[in-house]
Structure formats: structure tokens, C-alpha cells
Amino acid sequence: MKHLSRNDRTILGRWFWTIDKPLVALVLLLIGLGIVAVAAASPAAAHRYSGGSVRVGDLFYLKRQVLWVLAGVPLMFAVSLLPIRWAKRVAIGGTVVFLAALFAVPFVGSEVNGAVRWINLPGFQLQPSEFLKPMFVITTAWLLAARFDDRSLPTMQLSFGLLVVIAGLLVKQPDFGQTALFGAVWLVQAVLAGMSLLVVGAVICLALAGLGVAHLTSTHVAERIDHFVKGTGDTYQIDRALDCFKAGGLFGAGPGEGQMKFRLPEAHTDYIFSVIGEEFGAIACFMLAVLYLAIVVRVLLQLLDEEEPFIFLAASGLAIEFGLQAAINMSVNLALLPSKGMTLPFISHGGSSFLALSIGFGLLLALTRRNPYLKASPYAAGVRAT
């Protein structure tokens, strides 16, 4: 990279001088910590899922995660090379493709832990909702941004209609955690696009009413809520997660020294934050939370002077989605929210999750590309072209 000058007009040169390097450094640090976390959780997952004719080594899940990282990081950088107009087109096209896949899940999907969310492919389980999340955020931003040019366009209603369709398909799986995440991100984008507080209140009341109906009609939802509110029923997962935090204390038991993790279900995916708590301690968990916050704040600060509505809505939506998913996962591990079955971004093991996050973060890097030294030049305008 030392040979790339500011006058370099190649694709790589334009990318290097306009990419948000601190944001890249933060996400690469997060991915590196994810490899360490999966290394800690891999033996527990291997022991739990080895049985009968199925035997896997202690580092089986770590090796798979390294492969996903080797595939996902180049994918993230490749997506970040896209000009804004192409990032928009890719996201809108992706929304169509993965929405169609989401429609297909009930017919061709496979059941795991009582939920049908995945489509089995050779050597890979595709979870369409994971890939749909960043595509939906950008598609919604495109629709809502059109309101700034013509207030008469029903783009708010169209984006809400898209949300309702996706929510209906997710509830059917069932996947209420992803439903809540889609809804929360859409609501934030709608508020930023000028939705009145009266309508915001109505949407929140509608969501609460929907949760009440789900509690009355869905055994799955009722059990999760009752376990969280009343502490009744099977609380094995969250009890074991809290045991991990108690065993780790402030400084942790040490890498590879955790014992409670072997009793923890989904130690390498949904509850990997608890494994971090046991082996590296509460201070490490706090610093990881600060790292997620730093990524979100970095993006939002970059958008303070953004004048293009689409870029502002899309980038802020992607950052908030990223931060909310992390907050939800950590809250579940700490028994602050009911169990959601949601991964910790770039930390949890999983192919669908890691690749989808790589695409989403690549889109975020593409949207935030800028160079303060070139703002007035035609070159800078070309980078920001929509």
C-alpha cells in the first residue's frame, strides 16, 4: 500500500484513500477476538455434539471458523469496493433474492431446535434472514430517502409493508428475535426520515399488541416470556450461562481453563459471550461491549455532516442493526432478555452469520468511504456518486 499515491486512479488506489481506516481496524480487531473466543468455546461444543457415530476434535469448530473468516474478510473488502450506486443495486437485488428464499424456507427448510430457519446446501446451512437484514436496511433507506424529493410518494407505507411481510415470514419459523431486530431498525430509520412521534407511538403500541397476541397463541413465545418474567419452566440454558460468569469473576479462569462451559448449550454460538466471561472475565466482556459501541459511534460520528439522505439512512441503519444485534445477544447471556437464538456479530461461530455480516459491513464501509482532503475534487465526487 505504500506505493499508492493520492493521485492513484485505480480501483485499489481509490479504495485505499477513501476507506474509513479506523473503522476497518476496529472490525478486524473484533474478528480477531472472535477467533480467540471460538477457540475457547470449540472444545465445549465438540464434546457436547460428539456422540454415537459422530466424533469431532476439540478444535473442529475453530477450524471451521477460520475457514469462514478466510472467506468472509475478502468478501467484506470486495463489497466495500462498490460505488454507492452499485451498493444500492446489489442490496435491492439481494432483498428480492433473499426474500424469495425466506418464502421458500417453510417448504424446503430444515428444522433445528424446533425452528425452521435454514436451507441445507452442500456443506453449508443458509439462513436467508441473516443475509436479508443488511439488504433490507439499504432497500428501506432507498425508499425513505425518496420522501426527501417528493413528500407525496407513499414510500413510508411501502417500506412498512415490506417489514410486515418479512415479519410474518419470520414469525412462522418462528424467529421473534430477528423480527424484533428488523422492526427496531426500520423504526429508527423511519424516525430519522421524519416520521411523526404520534405515528411512532402507534407503531410501538401495535408491536406490543402483536407481542401479546403471540404470547396467547404461540407456545414457543409464551414459554420464553414466562421463563424470563416468572422464572418458571426450563431455565437450564440461562442458569448455565450465569454459572459461567460467576466462575470467571473479574479476570477469568484463564484461556482453556473454563469448566462450566462444558455444561453450556450452544457455547460456540448463542452463548459464546458467557464462555468469554468464564475464561477471560467480566472486564474482558465489558471491553468487548465497548468495542461494539466504538464501532457504532464511529459510524454515527462520520455521518454528522452527511448531506445525502440515502447514505445517512442506510449507513446509520446498518450501524444500529449491528449494535442492536450485539446488545441483544449480550443481554440474553446476562439474563436481561429472554432467549432469542441470535449470534454475537463476528464473534459467534457460524457460516451464514459470518458471511452475512461480512456483506453487511462491506456495504457499510462502501457507504462511509470519503476523504476529507479530496472533498472539493471531481475524484471525491466520483467516489460518492449515487
pLDDT tens string 244-254: 999 999 999 99
Q: Is the pTM of this model over 0.95?
A: no
Domain boundaries, the chain: 12-48+57-383
What pLDDT is attached to residue 209? 77
DSSP per residue over 162-230, as a string? HHHHHHHHHHHTT-HHHHHHHHHHHHHHHHHTT--HHHHHHHHHHHHHHHHHHHHH-HHHHHHHHHHHH
Mean pLDDT of 287-302: 96
Residue 303: predicted pLDDT: 92
Q: Which residues pair with 112 in a beta bridge?
A: 115
Q: What is the DSSP letter of 367?
A: H
Q: What is the pLDDT of residue 380?
A: 43
What pLDDT shows up at residue 66?
A: 95
Count each helix (H run) and each strand (E run) in the chain, helices first.
14, 3
Q: What's the confidence (pLDDT) of residue 376?
A: 39
- Mean pLDDT within 48-71: 79
Summarize pLDDT for 92-136 with one digit per residue, the tens: 999 999 999 999 998 887 777 667 888 888 777 889 999 999 999
Residues 254-272, mean pLDDT to the nearest whole number: 90
What mean pLDDT do residues 45-68 have?
Answer: 78
What is the number of other CB atoms lying within 10 angstroms of the CB of residue 171?
17
Going by pLDDT thresholds of 50, 70 and 90, the confidence category of residue 383 is very low
pLDDT of residue 135: 96
